[in-house]
Amino acid sequence: MKSLINFIKDHGLKVTPQRVAMIKTIKANGHINIDDLYKNIKDEFPAISLATLYKNIIQFIEKGLIREIAIPNHKTQYELKYSEHAHFICKKCNLVRDLKFGDEVELKLNISIENIENISINIYGDCCKNI
Amino acid sequence: MKSLINFIKDHGLKVTPQRVAMIKTIKANGHINIDDLYKNIKDEFPAISLATLYKNIIQFIEKGLIREIAIPNHKTQYELKYSEHAHFICKKCNLVRDLKFGDEVELKLNISIENIENISINIYGDCCKNI
DNA sequence: CTGACTGCAAACGTTTTGCACGGTA
DNA sequence: TACCGTGCAAAACGTTTGCAGTCAG
């Protein structure tokens, strides 16, 4: 709990109950889209506004707390930035499963690219055998 | 030219001048977003509607002619599906550069995943040294 | 105390939809 | 000819913005 507060503070942002709740919820879910984040936080803060979520999401991304996972035809998901991994994304049920780098998935770059900020690996498939 | 027509026909879609122009433009550009596609095609078809583009894009994706490249904070880009490669995406200028699989980039999967439909590897960075 | 954050409502841009017409097979 | 595709306009949707009030530092 203390660490969440520092996580926000250390990135140069003011600590508000709403921001703590956002980070807590994102952390608890691993990855989450705006709507689910909104629903989750509304339990704790019935008056919270979607606009606040969007504004903070933008802040979090700019300050490097979270990262976006862009998924075609689905809501963008967000996750804390401290763990690097790939994603398996089911096109049918929209499930997102994390795949560990170096362990489950390895990426080899044979060219030199300067200034890499982020690597996104999404594997799209179908995990719903019985639909 | 004949091959473009067959490319559309073979995927079970009717061949219209608009669709030919779309595939031709996407092919010529490698990857392109809706707006640029619209601008390009408007030269040839001044009366073409954005709605037509969107409807056909959806058809093309469903039938497997093209693939979406979802980029956070930028317009989704589209590319023909027959060539597999990763992307380097500049966060500043929005440039998208193709990186060949097996050659420039290698991906190793150490787990077995059934039913993989598509793999998306996007490397975000900064190619604009002097901005 | 001051600037940053919040919540509301309105605005905005993108994507989708309904419908009448036109073109492909 | 039958059905699919097109273009227009309107609707729907997700996201952003402006503003007045509030809170963290």
Residue B130: per-residue pLDDT: 45
Residue A39: per-residue pLDDT: 96
Q: Which of residues 68-127 of A touch strand C (CB under 7 A)?
A: 73
Q: Would the pLDDT of A85 be above 80?
A: yes
| DSSP-based three-state secondary structure for B1 | coil
Cβ of B61 near strand C (under 7 Å)? The reply is: no
**Contact call for residues B117 and B123 (beta carbons, < 8 A):** no
Looking at chain B, the whole-number percentage of residues with pLDDT higher than 70 is 96
Tokens of A48: 């919270």
| Span A48-72, average pLDDT | 95
Least reliable range by pLDDT among A20-24, A112-116, B32-36: A112-116
Residue B112, chain A, CB below 8 Å: the answer is: no
**C-alpha–C-alpha distance, residues A6 and A14, integer Å:** 10
Please report which confidence band the pLDDT of residue B2 belongs to, taking 50, 70 and 90 as the band edges: low
Tokens of A81: 């930035």
Please report which confidence band the pLDDT of residue A78 belongs to, taking 50, 70 and 90 as the band edges: very high
Residue B129: per-residue pLDDT: 62
Q: State pTM to two decimals.
A: 0.89
Segments in A45-118 forming alpha helices (H): 50-63
Residue A2: per-residue pLDDT: 60
- Tell me the pLDDT tens digit for each residue of B15-26: 999 999 999 999
Residue B10, chain A, CB below 8 Å: the answer is: no
Residue A70: CB partners within 8 Å, gap ≥ 6? Answer: A76, A120, B70, B71, B72
Residue B128, chain A, CB below 8 Å: the answer is: no
Looking at chain B, the whole-number percentage of residues with pLDDT higher than 90 is 75
Mean pLDDT computed over every residue of chain B: 92
Please report which confidence band the pLDDT of residue B93 belongs to, taking 50, 70 and 90 as the band edges: confident
Hey, are the CB atoms on A120 and B122 less than 8 Å from each other? yes
**C-alpha–C-alpha distance, residues A88 and A97, integer Å:** 5
**C-alpha–C-alpha distance, residues A97 and A87, integer Å:** 6
Mean pLDDT computed over every residue of chain A: 91
- Tell me the pLDDT tens digit for each residue of B97-113: 999 998 999 999 999 88
- Sorted by where each starts, the structural domains of chain B and their CATH numbers stand as 2-69 (1.10.10.10), 83-130 (3.30.1490)
Residue A119: per-residue pLDDT: 92
**C14 C1' closest Cα residue:** B75
Hey, are the CB atoms on B127 and A115 less than 8 Å from each other? yes
Q: Which residue has the higher pLDDT, B99 or B91?
A: B99
Residue A131: per-residue pLDDT: 45
